[in-house]
Structure 1
Amino acid sequence: MSLWQHPRFMAGLCTAAVLVCAAAPAVFLTAVDAAVLGRSASVQNAYEAPTPRGEDYYILRQLTARQQQSAAAYAPPEEEDRTSMALKMYIGAQNSLESMVNGYDYMETVSTTLQSLAERGVIDVSWAQWATDWGGNQYYEGYNGQTYALDVPYYATDSLGFVTLKRFALDQGSLYTVFSLTMDSRTGVVTQLWISAPREDDTAPAAPDEAGLRAFADLAGLESLGDWAVPDQTPYTHALYSANGAALITATVSPYQYTGWANSSSVVSDRWFLSLSLEPCTPEELPTLVS
């Protein structure tokens, strides 16, 4: 019998052959699964998640670069390094009112940032209120003869993109700094904060506790370093350290005496200050109390 004379029969044979070939892998895999089901075997090299490091985080890379370049900027380079050092020269932000720029457009940024820190429990809300009590119609005449409005912040930017914002005010006619806030211009992460507050008695305003410092690390995107802990024998009242990230967070609330000069007379004022900072710090650089 010629198969060509029976096309339907031939088509059936072809279809059956295709089905057998298609089913063969499934049958084989099913047999293999049945053979190994319920059996376990040890893995020679189990997978281990990599430990996060400081260089994995943009903000810590930025802070490390600023620390290194700032140190190099004040150290005379070796002859062979002069060209490379010139390319990496760090230019810091200016700090005096006369050298900063009117930051009216940053008022909302400052208020939102400080409010966020207060809402997350990093700082007490009273610190945010003192910092953003803009007052009104206060002006200061600088040594250059220019008049500066004191109901707005002023800002300066360094060569790595860190923005320092400050608010100034008058105490008995003498100019002083109400707050200084440094943040990364790309991410908005706060790296340093300093606030001055009136000192009416010896009861210190609330300082950031451990939970507040952890919230500060989280806002910086660094909580995932996973090993934040209070360092042993630290001289800081409030501190957290991450060995994985080689990063240190510190907070201090302390009294200080402001001294200034106005109308040919000295000005003295008792005040409190809050200092909060995030900085790179290797285990060897970590300060410890000397017994």
Structure 2
Amino acid sequence: MSLWQHPRIMTGLCAAAVLVCAAAPAVFLTAVDTAVLGRSETVQDAYTAPTPKGEDYYILRQLTARQQQSATAYSPPTEEEETPSALKMYIGAQNSLENMVNGYEYRDTADAALQSLVDCGALSPEWAAWAADWENGTYYENYDGQTYDLGVPYYTTDSLGFVTLKRFAMEQEALYTAFSLTMDSRTGVVTQVWISAPRGNDAAPATPDEAGLRAFADQAGLENLGDWARPENSPYPNALYSLNGEALITASVNAYEYSSWTDAMGTITSPHWFLSLSLQPCAEEELPVLVP
């Protein structure tokens, strides 16, 4: 019998063949599932998320490099070192007004950095107001007759790109540092803040608490280190340490006596408070501890 002479039979056989082909994958997968389900095997190397380290973060690499290069900047090279010391020398930032650069164009930068710290909770508005109390129209003249405008910040940069902005002020005709802020020029991350405030009574202004220190870590992009905690036996009343990142954040408010000398008034002293807030690399064995 020729199938061509019976088209209905041929059509039925073709349809049956198509159905068998279509069902084959499902039958195969069902058989595989039946064989696999209910049977478990131990994975030899189970996946674990990597623990973040300080070297994973640009800002901590920069701070570590600054710490290491500062320590070896002027030390003579050893016989094992192939790089001449002149090529690896770290050039630190200058601190005096005479050696810094007028940064009138960076006043907004300083104000924005302070406001950012206030907004994230790392700094109180009171401290920020003292820091940004620009003395417009006030000038300082040094012994060489050079005049400096105290209504603008002055800045300096080290060889790793850390920028320090300072505000200088006058009190009883004497010059003093009223505010200092260090940030990374590439990312804008603030790594250090120092602010001087008048001390009119014995009540110290507020020190950044644990929430403030965590906010300081967050603005540096270090929240994902995940293990920030207060170090034991720390001499700092407010501090957080990350063992994963080997990084230490400290905050303190202390009283000090500003002392200077002028031709007109002789020796002068003035009571002040200062706030110090900083982020620094610190190995576990280097953590400062209270000595009983």
User: Is the structural similarity TM-score above 0.5?
Assistant: yes
In the TM superposition, what is the alpha-carbon distance from 1:271 to its structure 2 partner?
0.3
Alignment of 1:249 onto 2:249: yes
Counting matched residue pairs gives 291
Alignment of 1:236 onto 2:247: no
Residues 76, 85 of structure 2: 8 Å contact kept: no
Deviations 1:159-178 (A, max 9, x none): 00000000001011101001
Look up the match of 1:202. 202
User: Distance in 2 between the 1:237 and 1:178 partners?
Assistant: 23
Look up the match of 2:155. 155
**TM-score normalized by the length of structure 2:** 0.90
Change (3 A) 1:45 1:172: same
Aligned 1:19-168 pairs, distance under 5 A:
24-37=24-37, 39-81=39-81, 83-168=83-168
Look up the match of 2:277. 276
Look up the match of 2:268. 267
Q: Which amino acid aligns with 2:66?
A: R
User: Distance in 2 between the 1:188 and 1:174 partners?
Assistant: 32
Q: CA RMSD in A?
A: 2.5
Deviations 1:68-88 (A, max 9, x none): 011110322224426343322
User: Distance in 2 between the 1:154 and 1:43 partners?
Assistant: 60
SS in 2 for 1:59: helix
Change (3 A) 1:73 1:36: same
Q: Structure 2 unaligned runs (5+)?
A: none
Change (3 A) 1:28 1:147: same
Q: Structure 1 unaligned runs (5+)?
A: none
User: Distance in 2 between the 1:53 and 1:85 partners?
Assistant: 29
User: Distance in 2 between the 1:237 and 1:213 partners?
Assistant: 12
Look up the match of 1:220. 220
Deviations 1:72-114 (A, max 9, x none): 1032222442634332211011111111111111111111111
Deviations 1:188-223 (A, max 9, x none): 111111000000001000001111101111111111
Change (3 A) 1:132 1:29: same
SS in 2 for 1:81: coil
Deviations 1:217-237 (A, max 9, x none): 111111111111000001111
Q: Which amino acid aligns with 1:31?
A: A
User: Distance in 2 between the 1:62 and 1:152 partners?
Assistant: 28
Deviations 1:228-250 (A, max 9, x none): 10000011111100111000000
- Percentage of matched positions with identical amino acids: 71
Change (3 A) 1:23 1:74: farther
Q: Which amino acid aligns with 1:107?
A: R
Change (3 A) 1:11 1:135: farther
User: Distance in 1 between the 2:29 and 2:274 partners?
Assistant: 71
**TM-score normalized by the length of structure 1:** 0.90
User: Distance in 1 between the 2:81 and 2:49 partners?
Assistant: 39
In the TM superposition, what is the alpha-carbon distance from 1:22 to its structure 2 partner?
6.7
In the TM superposition, what is the alpha-carbon distance from 1:121 to its structure 2 partner?
1.8
Look up the match of 1:258. 258
In the TM superposition, what is the alpha-carbon distance from 1:32 to its structure 2 partner?
1.6
